[in-house]
Amino acid sequence: MNILFVLGTKAQFIKTIPMINYAITSKYSVTVVDLKQHPEKTISLISKINGEFTYLQFMENKKDIGTYLGLLKWTLQILFKIIFKKEKIFNNNLAIVHGDTLSTLLGAFLIRRNKGKLVLLEAGLGFPGIFKHFPESFIRLYVAKFSHYLIANGEDQINQLKTWGVKGNIIEISNNTIYDSLDLVGLEQIENKKEVVISIHRTENINNKENMKLLLNVISNIDDSYHVSWYLHIPTKNKLKSYDLINSNKLKNVDLFDLVPYDKFLNKLYNSKFVITDGDGVVEECYILGIPTLVWRYEHLDSNHLFGDESSLLLSEFNLEKSLDFFKNYKKIKTNRKIQNSSPSKEALDKLIESI
């Protein structure tokens, strides 16, 4: 049996590589189709795939896409190729996409166009409405509607899929595959300065100048005794420049860095006193690692119940007083690392094969 993984972003590779590795060790023929949305970030991740597999570069692209114009050009190029070129490799084979990105949407179109069996990993995430958290919400709904198999973890996600009236086969797993992803990284506790990590990239934040100014105001209140590192996504850096904020005096004690490889970044998180982020993936990682984290969002569609008891996360709601209180009391919400006894990736693949 040939199993295909259609991926494009860093997060998609991170969350599917454990499943890819398990498929290879289970003697399935594995093909990774790379849409090249984040080629610079994913090149080091691909090296974590163990064993023999086929790598198919769907299009030529050597640079991470970080502008809206670049994203539009990349999307149109992929659509043109999907429409005008048949890919027989998909025909009647299982083909897996992940999440709610443009790569997810384009991958789904590619698979269905070529008569593949579309599998959506991490299906049924929270849905506030098509035009709220756009385009992620739209992609979640659209791809779920057209999937033959939907892999979800938790009652909330399954109920969301049922509310949408999906026709595909819903497969429940015990937890998110990010638990397996963290096991791929050698985490090392280092005695260091009082480190703080910042990572912000969601469109509803970076496209709102007032929101970014408020964030900088919050950051400026971090005590000078902390060493603060902000790892900048390309769109975030571009927006800070366009708002004339990147040289703001409020960032005088903040070191700005480009993104670093996943292993290095995860070790930075692991050794942080606290983290400020708006990204779902980083939120999940900090929750599992038990790192106190200020989630820079007004709401979080908490399908995985990350904000319940024994959580190291605090939702900022863009509230200055709440954020400042977090800086004073973050130690109170630090937790131990959460351990998953079984492998969600193994569970997902085994149940998927059983359901055919």
Q: How many whole angstroms separate alpha carbon 19 and alpha carbon 6? A: 13
Burial 19-46 (b: 16+ CB within 10 A, else e): bbbbbbeeebebbbbbbbbbbbbbeebb
Cβ contacts of 64 within 8 Å, gap of 6 or more: 37, 38, 39, 40, 41, 234
pLDDT 10s digits, 256-290: 999 999 999 999 999 999 999 998 889 999 999 99
Q: How many whole angstroms separate alpha carbon 67 and alpha carbon 72? A: 9
Give the model's pLDDT for residue 204: 85
User: What is the arithmetic mean of pLDDT over 55-68?
Assistant: 90
Give the model's pLDDT for residue 128: 67
User: What is the arithmetic mean of pLDDT over 122-129?
Assistant: 81
pLDDT 10s digits, 207-258: 999 999 999 999 999 999 999 999 999 999 999 999 999 999 999 999 999 9
At 304, the pLDDT band (50, 70, 90 cuts) reads low
At 109, the pLDDT band (50, 70, 90 cuts) reads very high
Give the model's pLDDT for residue 305: 65
pLDDT greater than 80 at residue 131: no
pLDDT greater than 80 at residue 129: no
Give the model's pLDDT for residue 134: 74
Cβ contacts of 321 within 8 Å, gap of 6 or more: none
Reduce the DSSP state of residue 138 to 3 states and report it.
helix
Which stretch of DSSP H or E encloses residue 119?
strand 117-121
Give the model's pLDDT for residue 302: 56
User: What is the arithmetic mean of pLDDT over 15-39?
Assistant: 97
User: What is the arithmetic mean of pLDDT over 202-208?
Assistant: 91
pLDDT greater than 90 at residue 189: no
Q: How many whole angstroms separate alpha carbon 198 and alpha carbon 188? A: 20
Greater pLDDT, 108 or 281: 108
At 309, the pLDDT band (50, 70, 90 cuts) reads confident
Mean pLDDT of the chain, nearest integer: 93
First to last CA, the chain: 12
At 301, the pLDDT band (50, 70, 90 cuts) reads low
At 197, the pLDDT band (50, 70, 90 cuts) reads very high
| Chain-centre distance for alpha carbon 254 | 25
pLDDT greater than 80 at residue 126: no
Q: Could you give the domains of the chain?
A: 2-175+342-354 (3.40.50.2000), 194-333 (3.40.50.2000)
How much of the chain exceeds pLDDT 70, in percent? 97
User: What is the arithmetic mean of pLDDT over 289-300?
Assistant: 91
